[in-house]
Each structure stands twice: as C-alpha cells, then as structure tokens.
Amino acid sequence: MLKEITGGITAPQGFKAAGIKAGIKKSGKEDVAIIYSTQPAAAAAVFTTNIMAAAPVVVSRKHVAGGKASAFIVNSGCANACTGEQGMTDAVAMADITAEALNVTPEEVLVASTGIIGVTMPMDKVTAGIHSAVKAMSVEGHQQAAQAILTTDTFLKICAYEFELGGKTVRIAGIAKGSGMIHPNMATMLGFVTTDAAISAPALKQALSEAVGVSFNMVTVDGDTSTNDMVGVMANGLAGNPVINDTTGDDYQAFKSALTTLCTTLAKLVARDGEGATKFLEVNVCGAASFDDAKKAAMAIAKSPLVKTAFFGQDPNWGRILCAVGYSEATVVPEKTSLAIGGITIVEKGLGAQYDEQALRTVMADHDIVVQVDLNVGPAKATVWTCDFSYEYVKINGEYHT
C-alpha cells in the first residue's frame, strides 16, 4: 500500500534541507548537508560496530540517546576519524554551531561525517558551511542535501513513500550514500530518514533496528566495515496519526513495513552503485536453520572475491559459490544444498545438474543477477545485495594516491 512520491527527504511535512559548497572537498562540490525538522522529532539511529568509530559517531550516539532530534548535520570530504581529542572537539563543535544557528539544544543535533581518515576537520570552512546551510534550508533543498552527503557515488540515492496510518496520510523519505571506501581513505555508508509519522522514540528505535537488520546490514561491497557508518531517522508527528507506542500493534507493523521497504530500496541503490560495479547481485539463501545462518551463507557468497570476480567475468562458477557456503559456518549438509543462478538450477542437492548452457550464458550477461541457494535444512531465509569485483574496483582503490 506504499505509494512512491517525489520530493525526497523533505516530502514529509515539516522538514527542510540544504546542501551547500563549503570548500571541504577539493572537487568544490556540495559537502555540507543539513536536514531540519521544524518540530522537535522523535529520533533513533544505528551506528558502525567498528571500534575505531569516528568522532561524529561518538557524539551522535550520545545525543540520540535522548530519543529526540531537530537536525542532522552532515559533511563529506573529511571523515573526522582517527583524529583523537581534536576530532572530538570538532564533532562537538559541529553540533554546537548547528544548534545555536537553529535555536535548539546541541543534544538535538546528530552529526555525521564521511571522507578522508586521519585528517582533522577544516573547522573554519565547516563553521561557515553550517551557517550557509542553515540559511539555505528549504523544502526545495532536498536534492542538494542528497548530493552533499556523497563522495564518489555515481548517482543520488533518494526514496520517498506515502501510506495510510490510523486514517491519516503519512510520508516517509530517505537519502543514502554509497558503501565501500569509494576513494582511498574514504569510507562510510550513511542513511538519513525523515517521516511525519507520530511514533514514540522507543518504538522508532526498535523499528529502525529491525528495518536496518534486513536492509542496510544486508549490503556488502567489499566486506570492510567503515569507521563512520550511520543510519538515522527523525519522526516529527505532523501527519497527525495516533502516536505509535505499542510495538505489537498494527500501526507499528505498518510503519515498520514502510520503513523497511524504504531502507531496502536505499540499500539496494548502495549495492548497485558499489565501486566499479558492472553487476548487481541479489543473493537469496533459503532453507537455513536460522536467519543468522542464512545471512552467514549469503554474506560468505557476497563477500568472496572469487565469486565476485567470476560474476565480473560472466563465468557461472558454481564451485566457488558452494565453496563459500561451505566455509560460511552456517549449518550446511553438502548432499542437501541446491543452487540456482537466474532461475536456472545448477546444483541439485549437492550434485551438478544438467542445464541449458546457452540460457545460463544469457543470464550471466545480464546486469542484475539473482543467486539462489537452498540449504534444505530449515525454514529460515535471508537476502544480501552486492556487486561484482572489477578492474575498476582495483583502479579506484589502488591507483589513487593520497
């Protein structure tokens, strides 16, 4: 019942955004984004599990603990990671400066950064950039905001839906930034979601956690978990639906479903725009003993350089796929494991099947390819999205010199 709509991150009522050029990026492109809710919003966020978490992650984790927010302030071009005490001071300052300009408390501002690791923030440019962004904020600014959070992504990642909740029309929208370390020293998958749904902070937190678990957390480009990953959501309640508190009710389910679809759409865009990608791969594992097992098997396939280079070479190399399943640590019985690529059965319960080689060549030449593994040992399933591994990946990541 979701309806896709235009308007991006400011499509929900009561949100403004801007993306401006602060001069942090050498390219001169947009590099400071602000997303602002005119009404204080319930807020939730999930962060990288990397112990080397960047300063903005530390600050935002603290601020979001209060369960409310008025703004996301985001810069690209500098990750503010591995920057020690100065980095913490700068991340705190970014929240303070934004809060003062918006007349809110610093705790209502969530900070995110992406870019070069190990370099301290050019705070003069950042400060001026925040002031410019606050002045520039508008409902029309959503596209510039989506642009300003990118590093070398090749396209904007924007998604917005409308749906009914408790008799009211509710909107939910998001923008994202590609995963993978798109330049040397560049990092980070970022996602920002806005909605005018009315929902309590604890319910929002749980919905985000569940949605991210089957969307952003199911994307891999090169298996590296960045220092700066963050997905945040603000829900300002302006849609006027009855406030969602009960996480067992229908309204919660409807909201979570919309949020999950939104996050999944954004996550798939991230995989599709992986570094040097020439293929978009959907890896489905079913028949697993548990969701964790299904995810382990799917991730092992999606992360294997051998599998990824085979897809780049359009080689239906099923031995590598089974091999990855075999070391995934999922419960696997070789004699029960089946594999299909693009709907063509390649392996039937552990044994190579007869298949139409020409049909398989056609599948392997497609841009979008579905890999389906049936472990045949249980009821659970999982889907992971990834891309192939190309010369261009090596070029992007090896030929750039810091």
What is the smallest separation between the CB atom of 89 and a copy of itself, expressed in angstroms?
14
Which of 140, 222 has the CB closer to a copy of itself? 222
Which of 21, 308 has the CB closer to a copy of itself? 308
Asked if 122 interacts with a copy of itself (CB under 8 A), we say no
Asked if 166 interacts with a copy of itself (CB under 8 A), we say no
Helix (H, G, I), strand (E, B) or coil at 89: helix
| Among 368, 164, 173, 171, CA closest to 266 | 173
Which of 164, 222 has the CB closer to a copy of itself? 222
Annotated ligand binding at 151? The verdict is yes
Near a copy of itself by CB under 8 A: residue from 332, 341, 344, 382? 332
Taking CB under 8 A as the rule, which mask of x and - marks residues 61-90 in contact with a copy of itself? Answer: ------------------x-xxxx------
Near a copy of itself by CB under 8 A: residue from 66, 242, 305, 379? 305
Q: Which stretch binds a copy of itself (CB under 8 A): 155-163, 190-198, 217-225, 286-294?
A: 217-225
* β-bridge pairing 380-387 and 280-288: antiparallel
Check if the beta carbon of residue 220 is closer than 8 Å to that of residue 302: yes
Which of 37, 226 has the CB closer to a copy of itself? 226
Near a copy of itself by CB under 8 A: residue from 347, 369, 380, 387? 347
Which of 5, 123 has the CB closer to a copy of itself? 123
What is the smallest separation between the CB atom of 351 and a copy of itself, expressed in angstroms?
5
What is the smallest separation between the CB atom of 93 and a copy of itself, expressed in angstroms?
19
Is 154 an active-site residue? no
H helix runs in 304-389, sequence order? 305-312, 318-326, 357-365
Q: Which of residues 33-52 bind a copy of itself (CB under 8 A)?
A: 49-52
Q: H/E element holding 123?
A: helix 123-136
Asked if 389 interacts with a copy of itself (CB under 8 A), we say yes
What is the smallest separation between the CB atom of 185 and a copy of itself, expressed in angstroms?
5
Q: Annotated catalytic residue: which of 83, 114, 188, 195?
A: 188
Near a copy of itself by CB under 8 A: residue from 138, 246, 292, 351? 351
Q: Which stretch binds a copy of itself (CB under 8 A): 121-129, 193-201, 204-212, 344-352?
A: 344-352
Number of residues that bind a copy of itself (CB under 8 A): 66
d(CA 270, CA 105): 32
Q: Which of residues 241-300 bind a copy of itself (CB under 8 A)?
A: none
d(CA 86, CA 335): 57
From residue 272, alpha-carbon distances to 67, 220, 328 in Å are 32, 10, 24
Taking CB under 8 A as the rule, which mask of x and - marks residues 174-193 in contact with a copy of itself? Answer: -------x--xx-x------
Task: Quickly tell me which residue has 């070069």 as its tokens.
Answer: 116
Query: What contacts 111, CB < 8 A, 6 or more positions away?
Result: 56, 59, 60, 63, 72, 73, 74, 91, 94, 95, 98
Name the token pair of 158. 């924007």
If 0-12 CB within 10 Å is exposed, 13-18 middle and 19+ buried, where does residue 132 land? middle
Task: Quickly tell me which residue has 């299904």 as its tokens.
Answer: 294
What is the smallest separation between the CB atom of 299 and a copy of itself, expressed in angstroms?
12
CA angle 192, 294, 1 (to 5 degrees): 45
| Among 39, 8, 121, CA closest to 74 | 121
Near a copy of itself by CB under 8 A: residue from 318, 341, 371, 380? 318
Backbone angles phi, psi at 335, to 5 degrees: -70, -10
Length of the chain: 402
Asked if 334 interacts with a copy of itself (CB under 8 A), we say yes
Buried/exposed code over 345-362 (b: 16+ C-beta within 10 A; e: otherwise): ebbeeeeeeebeeeebee
Query: What contacts 31, CB < 8 A, 6 or more positions away?
Result: 20, 21, 22, 23, 24, 25, 75, 76, 77, 129, 148
What is the smallest separation between the CB atom of 330 and a copy of itself, expressed in angstroms?
9
Asked if 352 interacts with a copy of itself (CB under 8 A), we say yes
Residues serving a catalytic function are 188
Query: Which spans of this chain sit near a copy of itself (rule: CB under 8 A)?
Result: 49-53, 79, 81-84, 116-119, 181, 184-185, 187, 222-227, 303-306, 309-310, 312-320, 322-327, 332-335, 337, 347, 350-352, 389-391, 393-395, 397-402
